[in-house]
Structure formats: C-alpha cells, structure tokens
Chains A and B, each alone.
Chain A
C-alpha cells in the first residue's frame, strides 16, 4: 500500500464517495415514490392509466441503463436540453430505477391474498382506504427484501454515472488509477467503500425485517389473558 499516493488522491476519492452518496440518496428518493405510484396505478387495472404505466415500465426495464444515461447526457443537447453531468445521471438512473422498483413493489402488493380485497370491498371500504389500511400494511414485509436488494443494485449502478462525466467514487478511482498506474490500490479502496455503502443498506434490511416481524409477532399468552380480563 503506497500511503503517499493514498494521501494525494484520498481527498478526490472522498469527494467521489460524497458524490456517490448524493447520487444514491437522490435517485432512491425520486425512484421510490414514482415506483410506488406506478405499482399502485397498475394495480387499479384501469386501462387508460395502467396501460401507459405498463408501457413505461417495460420500455425502461428492457433498455440498458447505460444507454438511457448516454441519451440523457450526450443526446439531449442535440434537442436543445443541456443537462449538467449530475442532473443527467440523476434523471437517467431515476427513470430506470423507478421502472424496476415499481415491479418489486407491485410484486409485494400482488402477493397479498385477493380475498383481502374482496372482503374489504364487501365491507364497503373505498379503494384508497383498502390500499392504505388493508393492503399496504400486509405488503410491506413482502416488499422490504426485494426493495432493499433493488436499492443496493441502484447504489452500485451509480458507478455508471462515471461514464457521463460525473466524478463519482468509480470515476475518481479510475482517474487515480489512470494517472498513477497503480491498478489495485484505488480499485480496492473503491470496492471497500461500496461494500460499506451497500452493507449499510443490508443492515437496514435486517433491522427493518426484524422490526416488522416484532410488530406482527403474536402477543404472549400473558398479554392475551390480560386483554381478556
């Protein structure tokens, strides 16, 4: 390990890490509500909104994310829309991420027993009420594992932003490698930092699952007896 080089390029790697965190947080913050909205829209089965949502999902799910990023940064200026590298990356990654995320969320919603819908409807509850009070609480435990996995994939996908001129963690590691010709040190550093970021999300998943499981755990016999009294 060459500590002199590490000291020289450490600040640039740190800035790259901050850019990666910013890109991850903003992309997830945009993609999550859009993905949830698309999933709910598709679950309504109302053709005039569900079909366009399905078309959106399938177009962006089937296109390579890199192609979308290249289009947003290199092609849009040809149409008069000149985005900064970071804005283009956020736009491209959010569009693609929302398409994937909607499928993860829709899977969770669809996994809730259809009898729950029918029973709630028979009780006269409105669709928003059914979704909010009956379906979503049961779907969340099912959604958490695929959602966090998707979030981890999206964090790693931010490395594509280096190809549209964003100085993210991958970009700065590649830059340092190209200048110093030290092929391992900076890539290993970047890998370790990605592990930390993704690891934090994996820990969040464990915490969230544990919390949901605790909330759904049957009350103890003592509690039940106390309730009966």
Chain B
C-alpha cells in the first residue's frame, strides 16, 4: 500500500466515523422505542396521592375568574361554570381522588388568595415570566399551553404588523404581560390600560384605541366569536412566545409534583388536547408545546 493510498483510507475512515456513530445512535433510539412500545401515561403513581396540606382535607379548592372564555366562563344557558380549564381542574381532582370546589373571584384576588392559603390550585393558564417563576407567593406547574403576544385591530386602521402600529393608540388589559410587552416594543404608541379584555374590545370598537394587545389564544377566540368579528383582524407576527401553566399554593409542593405528573400524563394520552379542542377551534396551543421544548 502506497503512502498516498494509506492517507486516503485514513481520511475515509475519519469521515465515516460520525456517520457510523449517528447510525449507531439511531439504532439505539429505535431499539429504545421498540422496547417502550406505544406512548402511554406514567401509571406508577400513588393512589390516593398523599397530599398533606390541602386547604380543606378531601377537597381540591380551585380559584378561577370564570371570565376568560374558552378556558373558564359561565355557560349562559345553564349558568354553570365551564370551559377547557374548568374541565382540566375537574379531571385533576378526579384523578387525585378529591372533590373539586371552585371559588369564583376577580383575577386581582386569585394570587392573594393562593398566598393566603384560600385555594390549592388556580390560574387558567398563567404565562411564565422570570418574576413569576421565582415568586415565593405561588408555584407554577409545567406548561399546559404555548401562547404568544399578538394584537387585534379594526380592518379600517390598515394595521397589519406591529411595525405599522408605531405611534398608534395601543390598548390592553392593565398588568397583563402581553400588553406590557407590546408597550415596550412600541415605545411611541399611546397606551390606554383597560380593566379587562371585554372593556379593551369596546375601546377598540369605539375608536378609543387603534389596536389591542393580547395573547394569541384569546385573539383567536375573539376573531372566531366576537359580535363584530367581521370588522377585526389579527396583528402579527407574535412579539413574544410564552409557556403557560397553572399556579399551586406555595405551601403545597406535594400538590405541584402531583399536578405536574398528571399534566405529563394528559399530554401523553391526549386528554389535554381533547379538553382544549372541546372548547376552542384549534388545539395548536397544545400541539406546538414542542416549539418551546415540552
């Protein structure tokens, strides 16, 4: 073998090594998948789950606003609290062997209520932020949805992107991170802080604001169901993308572990997707959780 031929062999071997390693990894994954079988929920969980610090023993007390359709709202025909997250809370309670008791109150009272030990579980999908994840007032569960900051405008404004909204009258819900993010992204916009989403949308209809910043799930719901939906249009692309989860009483780390385990199971067996799909036109908020690593 000449020196030149030897060099060629060594080079070829060096180039082939990564492919060989990748091929071996792929074989391992395939073997692992075959051994695991079909996706299935993790079943080796305590039954009943020993939760030591429930607000009321034997009951899962849940704080909810009842004013954020399609996740939590009062059915006008029956007067009953319903929605995808209301059903999710009921499912969690049932799987933990607990009776679920809902307490309806304004959003402003939800977190003080958790911190004051009045509820075990709350938040109909609260977006993750550094401050919230680090808060000592409550614990956040693993994500139940992916959401994003977008806006809605009237067709007559001609606004299609956030770039086109510079200097315009921007509305949103006071304290919502979507509105706060939009205010930062559009420093020249004139902000008006409304107490809630319905009021923001009235302000948009009245011409008091040119666009309303909100989360994508709510925006799609408004565009699908608002009385004036024909006059409205989405503003994008999204300014920010968020994970959303539930909030757990800060005194109950055992409940956090239980809820996280169940949420993982609901993702695996399709329960979460089915609950969302029952009340919304799209299940994208669950389907696209992989975009943020979940």
Contacts and interface: CB of A to CB of B under 8 A. Distances in A.
B57 interface: no
Nearest to B113: A183
A187 B135 CA distance: 17
Interface in A187-217: 187
B135 to A, nearest CB: 5
Contact of A162 (B138, B180, B195): B195
A187 B116 CA distance: 14
A163 B135 CA distance: 27
A77 B207 contact: yes
Interface string A68-88: 000000100110001001000
Interface in B197-213: 199, 202-203, 206-208
Given A174-B108, A175-B175, A181 B206 contact: no
B195 A74 contact: no
A65 to B, nearest CB: 15
Nearest to B206: A77
A178 B108 contact: yes
Given A74-B202, A78-B206, A165-B203, A178 B176 contact: yes
Nearest to A74: B202
Interface in B160-207: 174-177, 180, 192-195, 199, 202-203, 206-207
Contact of B111 (A85, A162, A171, A177): A177
Interface string A143-166: 000000000000000000011010
B156 interface: no
A183 B249 CA distance: 13
B208 A77 contact: yes
A223 B130 CA distance: 74
A162 B202 contact: no
Interface of B: 107-108, 111-112, 115, 131-132, 135, 137-138, 174-177, 180, 192-195, 199, 202-203, 206-208
Given A74-B203, A74-B206, A165-B199, 10 more contacts: A74-B199, A77-B207, A77-B208, A174-B108, A175-B174, A177-B175, A178-B176, A181-B111, A183-B111, A183-B115
A97 B44 CA distance: 64
A171 B112 CA distance: 16
Interface string A82-112: 1001000000000000000000000000000
Contacts of A78: 206
Interface residues of A, number: 22
Given A82-B207, A165-B192, A178 B174 contact: yes
Interface in A29-84: 74, 77-78, 82
Contacts of A184: 112, 115
B127 to A, nearest CB: 11
23 contacts: A74-B203, A77-B208, A165-B192, A165-B193, A165-B195, A165-B199, A165-B203, A167-B193, A174-B174, A175-B193, A177-B175, A178-B107, A178-B175, A179-B177, A181-B111, A181-B132, A182-B135, A182-B137, A183-B112, A183-B115, A184-B112, A184-B115, A187-B112
B91 to A, nearest CB: 25
A116 interface: no
A15 interface: no
B64 to A, nearest CB: 16
A89 B195 CA distance: 14
B193 A180 contact: no
A85 B203 CA distance: 11
B131 A180 contact: yes
A149 B212 CA distance: 40
Contacts of B138: 181
Contacts of B174: 162, 171, 174-175, 178
A151 B115 CA distance: 34
A135 interface: no
Contacts of B206: 74, 77-78, 82
A17 interface: no
A13 interface: no
A162, A171, A183 — most chain B CB neighbours (10 Å):
A183
Contact of B131 (A82, A163, A174, A181): A181
A49 to B, nearest CB: 36
Contacts of A180: 131, 135
A82 B209 CA distance: 11
A181 B135 contact: yes
A176 interface: yes
Contact of A177 (B108, B180, B192, B199): B108
Contacts of A187: 112
Nearest to B180: A179
A156 to B, nearest CB: 17
Contacts of B107: 178
Nearest to A76: B206
